[in-house]
Amino acid sequence: MSGHDPFQRVTAIVDLGAVERNCATMAADLASGTELCAVVKADGYGHGMGECADAALRGGATRLAVATATEAFELRERVGAEIPILVMGALTGAELDVALQARAELPVWRAEFFEALAERAGMFGFRPRVHVKYDSGMGRLGEREPHGVVRLADAAASDERIELAGVWTHFATADEDDEDYLRGQLDRFREVALPIQERHPGITLHAANSAATLRGPEFHFGMVRCGVAIYGLDPFGRDAAPHGLEPALSLHTYVADVKRFHEGDSAGYGRTWRAPADTWIAVLPTGYGDGYRRGLSNDCDVLVGGVRRPLVGTISMDNVTVDLGSTTEVEVGEPAVLIGSQSEEEISAEQLADRLGTINYEITCGLTRRVPRAYRN
């Protein structure tokens, strides 16, 4: 994916065909009967929620998940009435009404919330489907006590105002090499959830994010909730290619200026870089205002003319500078790639995350609204 629309200062090109293929790849390796739920919260991890939801459904996802009521509402308008949408996050009273209007499936773990939900449900004229969340070791949302989970699930199953749809949990360390803690969570979940499913056979159990899904069928249950992998990002923070996944997003800008620097000349705020010798510098009109993080200052590469070039100087809100060295072949208007490939070279979200001491999720989620998303198939 190269080429830059010369009318755009910076563009995130999202390859929806890649999202579709990534879903098909994930779906192909699921245990028999397991459904793929595509996680499209946070605007599809920065890729665009609605567009990616459509692509995921084309690729074999049969369900969608988001974090908030507003996301569920927007998504429902996009995908129509039939596709199940799960809200995974905590909801205030007002948000609960929005989620109910969206006919979303809802998480429960507190008795008070369960009661509020059951009461509100009558006013909406349908039986909301609820998923009881067990905190088996994430230490975040969910009921920690196994008997509390059983009590809530049985209460939901016997309450005519609502429908028990599932029991679920979330893993804290599925992306780590050491599986001990993960297996402890899996065992605790099985111990609590399987007997509930025996009593209420129609329900769906689910636990796996992308990393756990890639570890194999014992983590799959009735459904997996995959986010990062469907965008072609590696849940283990290394390289997505060995998993058969293709990065969907690339980030493009252009060379707005090229100038001669003499030895000792400095680029950008604070003069954090000075030319060690005479050189050529390209100015690219993008910066941390677009989500191209300032922490990458003097510490990452950019692709210009099919070559990896060091970014030099401090990243500004709207500009960065790149050392072209002695080449005089780069011209104003040429495309530059911040994430993605040019010729044989590639810069991945994982590489940028590694430089920043963060995760690939944060790189794509962090691209701001100022960056137009252009969709390709």
Ligand X SMILES: Cc1ncc(COP(=O)(O)O)c(C=O)c1O
- By beta-carbon proximity to ligand X, the closer residue of 144 and 260 is 144
* Rg of the chain over all Cα atoms, to the nearest angstrom: 24
| Cβ closest to ligand X, residue 234 vs residue 290 | 234
- How far, in Å, CA of 57 to CA of 65, rounded? 12
Closest separation between CB of residue 231 and ligand X, Å?
Answer: 8
Q: Which of 138, 307 has the CB closer to ligand X?
A: 138
Residue 349 Cβ, how far from ligand X at the closest point, in Å?
Answer: 13
Ranked by CB distance to ligand X, the top (closest) residue is 227
Least Å distance between CB 175 and ligand X?
7
* 269 counts as catalytic: yes
> Least distance (Å) from ligand X to the CB of residue 299?
26
Does residue 41 have an active-site annotation?
yes
Which of 133, 269, 288, 361 is catalytic? The answer is 269
Q: How far is the CB of 306 from ligand X (least distance, A)?
A: 32
- CB closer to ligand X, 246 vs 265: 246
Q: For residues 340 and 252, what is the distance between their CA atoms, to the nearest angstrom? A: 8
Residue from 41, 134, 231, 288 carrying the catalytic annotation:
41
Q: Give me the least distance between CB of 34 and ligand X, in Å please.
A: 14
Residue 208 or 336 having the CB closest to ligand X: 208
Q: Which residues bind ligand X (CB under 6 A)?
A: 39, 88, 170, 209-211, 225-229, 235
Residue pair 275/263 in contact by the 8 Å Cβ criterion: yes
Beta carbons of 174 and 215 less than 8 angstroms apart: yes
State which residue, 186 or 226, has the beta carbon closest to ligand X.
226
Active-site residue numbers? 41, 269
